[in-house]
A = this chain, B = another copy of it.
Amino acid sequence: MIAGTLLALAGGVGGAKLADGLAALLGDRLGVIVNTGDDFEHIGLSISPDLDTVLYTLAGIANPETGWGVAGESWAFLDQAVRLGGPGWFRLGDRDLAIHVLRSERLRRGERLSAITADFCRRLGVAARLMPMSDAPVRTVVETASGPLPFQDYFVRHRCEIPVTGFVFAGIEQARPTPEILAALAAEELGAIVLGPSNPFVSIDPILAVPGLKQALRRRGVPIVAVSPIIAGAAVKGPAAKMMRELRLEVSALAVAEHYAGFIDGVLIDEADAALAPRLEALGLAVRVAPTLMKTPEDRRAVAGHALTLAGAVPAGRGSA
């Protein structure tokens, strides 16, 4: 465990569940830097899928079946929008729509995404500080054999079916770590940084690609640990395993750790992957083996606890700048 504050990096569902477990243990001592590379504009609305998944999850209103949107959702808007000639491929629920409409208006008025997100957290009673990785728009483009695809086209329209060859984070040169992120990093009581079990390529990498952010995280000198999104050669949710195969990587927690090599100090892997521990330790990493599937709120807290324990176990000397 850690005494001070903690920074987590998160994408969608997996990162949101870990963040929820961490929030249960740490409350307002938790800050979450959230990927905004999946953000996009749709029928004039600014949509931030990962921010919303983390926010809804921490607010206790996430839809447990879909992994996105609000529980108990209704679809009157979408029905009517399609009837009026609008697109139906991106499913916007009636309740979910509120955050998109309000966010879009506030962005158009010049408010920063960070400030809007902080306000939404307060309104929904979320004590943890959710922080978009950037206030400037960054858009993940998935490179495929058939050409580049905007992320949501790849993810929702094409259901991740087209093999990927790489990723581009359009706009990343203009992105900067936000004042909120820099303040959280500068906090004297910061005890550790945790990479959630999110997709390394399209959830965590965009965050680390914000110019200056990866270096700032590393130089801060606190333990950085990752929770593997790969369990027994498969991703719990989403296209991470499929992407790894298409990128000719081994689909394993080892390949994830190698992807983060030189940046992380430790890795939390599932019991099913216990045999990988010696090879991970050989990379110089602290390793913790535990059940990492998060099906219940108790699971989330338990995995969060293991991540904190792992961070606390990183030997002195590691985690220093």
Contacts and interface: CB of A to CB of B under 8 A. Distances in A.
The DSSP consensus for interface residues of chain A is helix
Interface centre among A70, A77, A101 (most CB of B within 10 A): A101
Contact of A83 (B79, B108, B124): B124
A99 B45 CA distance: 14
Name, among A70, A76, A96, the residue most crowded by chain B CB atoms within 10 Å (CB to CB): A76
Nearest to A108: B44
Contacts of A84: 98-99, 102, 120, 123-124
Contacts of A123: 83-85
B120 A95 contact: no
Interface in A263-306: none
Interface in A71-97: 73-74, 76-81, 83-86, 93-97
Contacts of A97: 77, 80, 94, 97, 101
Interface of A: 43-45, 70, 73-74, 76-81, 83-86, 93-99, 101-102, 104-105, 108, 119-120, 123-124
6 contacts: A76-B94, A80-B97, A81-B98, A97-B97, A97-B101, A101-B101
